[in-house]
Amino acid sequence: MFETKVLKAGPTSLSQEKQFASAVEKGLSLDNKCLPSWLIFDSAGSIIFKAITELAEYLPAACEFEIIRNQKNKIAKLITGDTFNLIELGSGDGCKTRILIEHLLNEKFGFHYYPIDISSGAVTNLIRSLEAEQQDTRLQVTGLIGDYFDGLNAIIQEGPKQNLVLFLGVTLNNMNPDSARSFLKNLCKTLGPKDYLLIGFDLMKNPKLLYSAYNNPLFEKFNLHLLDRINQVLGANFNKDNFVQQGQYNPITRAVESYLYSTCNQTVHIRTLNKDYHFKAWETMQTEQSFKFTLEEIEKLATENGFQVEEHLFDSRKYFVNSIWKVAP
Ligand SMILES: C[S@@+](CC[C@H](N)C(=O)[O-])C[C@H]1O[C@@H](n2cnc3c(N)ncnc32)[C@H](O)[C@@H]1O
């Protein structure tokens, strides 16, 4: 059975529109304007991101594909019973997971796959393409449109099955250290002793390689799409022609930081917020960050947030790692 559900925001969380408005207002009011990258992901943003993941110079996707293709056997060995939930947080197009799904079905597992994503287009397209390519009745699929934890809590309430949770790509890399810690602490409280987390980390590497991954016309289009989103969701009048994008590795913050530069003096009005924001010529607005990790930092992050590392799965160049974690006893 294949289905898609729209999640209701939890009782303490704001609706998606309110979260969007509040993040934009907060980010544009800072002395150094800075917006979180999750704002970029609607259906069109997900399509541009998918195209980025197909670029040879965008190493995280190529490396993670290699890991899943070559080490799917090790991942399948984490399953202890006949049935389990395969839960994917921020699934996007689920391209890498489809390799794993195929393998798990070949290994005769029956399971329920739950991709969770705030981008409705990403979830709908993923369900549609899985439906077209999978006829195996041992596979059940429920796509959940909404926030990670609203999705996880809904699944866990359905009963006590083993959960294999995937958090792939550079989604953790994109979080600032405080958000990463609170995300992992929350996840640790939600998972049980038999559950596993497979989590992706882009590793620190030659900054010249990092530069070429984050500076190309598609990356610029992706970052500029944020302005379309603010125009559409909040009735703003950003003109994309008045901005250019550049990304660079900052050795002090240890992150690749992407900026939109205002090419002229300009004032942008945001109708829903009833506010004007002034940009001086060449003023920057940060639109993305991607922290680069060492293995020591990954292990510290796991143990400080209640997990233990079971194993690291690397690509052949050791540019990326998918780390297998369990909740520490
Ligand atoms: C960097 S992309 C990674 C996509 C995919 N996992 C991959 O490896 O290609 C991050 C994904 O997380 C989703 N996302 C961001 N914040 C989210 C949230 N709070 N809840 C659910 N999904 C979220 C985005 O829509 C996007 O599809």
Ligand 1 center from residue 198 Cα (angstroms): 15
Do the beta carbons of residue 175 and residue 67 sit within 8 Å? no
Name the band, by pLDDT with cuts 50, 70 and 90, for residue 211.
Answer: very high
The answer to which of 5-14, 62-71, 149-158 has the lowest mean pLDDT is 5-14
> What average pLDDT score do residues 180-205 get?
97
**203, pLDDT greater than 90:** yes
Asked if residue 309 has pLDDT above 70, the reply is yes
Average pLDDT over residues 285-313: 97
Q: Give the distance (Å) from ligand 1 centre to CA of residue 319.
A: 21
* H runs (alpha helix) in 134-176: 148-156
Q: Is the CB of 148 under 6 A from ligand 1?
A: yes
Cα gap 171→152, rounded to integer Å: 17
The pLDDT of 27-36, averaged and rounded, is 97
Q: Is the CB of 45 under 6 A from ligand 1?
A: no
pLDDT band at 159 (very low <50, low <70, confident <90, very high): confident
pLDDT for the residue numbered 14: 65
What are the two backbone dihedrals, phi and then psi, of residue 141, each rounded to the nearest 5 degrees?
Answer: -135, 125
User: Measured between alpha carbons, how far is 320 from 299 in angstroms, rounded to an integer?
Assistant: 14
User: Pocket of ligand 1, candidates 19, 171, 172: which has the most ligand atoms within 8 Å of its Cβ, to mutate?
Assistant: 171
At residue 9, the pLDDT reads 65
Among the atoms of ligand 1, which is closest to the Cα of residue 95?
A: 9
Predicted TM-score (pTM) above 0.85? yes
22 CA to middle of ligand 1, Å? 19
**Amino acid sitting at position 147:** D
CA of 171 to the centre of ligand 1 (A): 6
Q: Separation of 224 CA from ligand 1 center, angstroms?
A: 18
Q: Are 165 and 89 in contact (CB under 8 A)?
A: yes
Does the pLDDT value for residue 122 go beyond 80?
Answer: yes
Rounded to the nearest 10 degrees, what angle do helices 148-156 and 177-190 cross at? 10
Above 60 in pLDDT, residue 147? yes
**Mutation choice for ligand 1 from 38, 166, 167, 170, CB with most ligand atoms inside 8 A:** 38
Q: Are 162 and 81 in contact (CB under 8 A)?
A: yes
pLDDT on residue 284: 98
Distance 97 CA to ligand 1 centre (A): 14
Flag whether pLDDT at 57 surpasses 60.
yes
The per-residue pLDDT of the chain, averaged, comes to 95
**Ligand 1 neighbour 38 (Cβ under 6 A):** yes
What's the average model confidence in pLDDT over 20-48? Answer: 95
What pLDDT digit, counting tens, does each position of 239-274 carry? 999 999 999 999 999 999 999 999 999 999 999 999
* Cα(285)–Cα(45) distance, integer angstroms: 18
CB of 169 closer than 6 angstroms to any ligand 1 atom: yes
pLDDT for residue 154 is more than 70? yes
- Are the C-beta atoms of residues 246 and 282 closer than 8 Å to each other? no
Going by alpha carbons, the residue nearest to atom 3 of ligand 1 is: 169
CA 135 → CA 1, 82, 104, 129, 200, distances in Å?
10, 19, 14, 12, 29
User: In whole angstroms, what is the distance from residue 196 CA to residue 166 CA?
Assistant: 9
Percentage of the chain modeled with pLDDT above 70? 98
Answer yes or no: is the C-beta of 91 below 6 A from any ligand 1 atom.
yes
Alpha-carbon dihedral of residues 196, 171, 90, 65, nearest 10 degrees?
Answer: -70
- Burial code (b: 16+ CB inside 10 Å, e: under 16) for 269-305 equals ebeebeeebebeeebbbbbbbbbbbebebbbebbeeb
Cβ 20 under 6 angstroms from ligand 1: no
- Evaluate whether 146 touches 7 at the Cβ level (below 8 Å): yes
Q: Which domains does the chain have, with CATH numbers?
A: 51-206+293-327 (3.40.50.150)
Q: Is 80 helix (H, G, I), strand (E, B) or coil?
A: coil
Per the model's pLDDT, the better-predicted residue between 207 and 8 turns out to be 207
pLDDT digits (tens, 9 = 90+) for 69-80: 999 999 999 999
Expressed in angstroms and rounded, the spacing between residue 188 Cα and the centre of ligand 1 is 19
- For 139, the enclosing helix (H) or strand (E) is strand 139-145
pLDDT at 157 over 80: yes
Q: Rounded to 5 degrees, what angle do the CA atoms 318, 91, 17 make?
A: 125
CA distance 114 to 326: 19
Residue that has been written with the tokens 């984490």 in this structure: 78
d(CA 83, CA 72): 17
pLDDT digits (tens, 9 = 90+) for 7-24: 876 655 667 788 899 999
Query: Given this model, what pLDDT does residue 10 score?
Result: 61
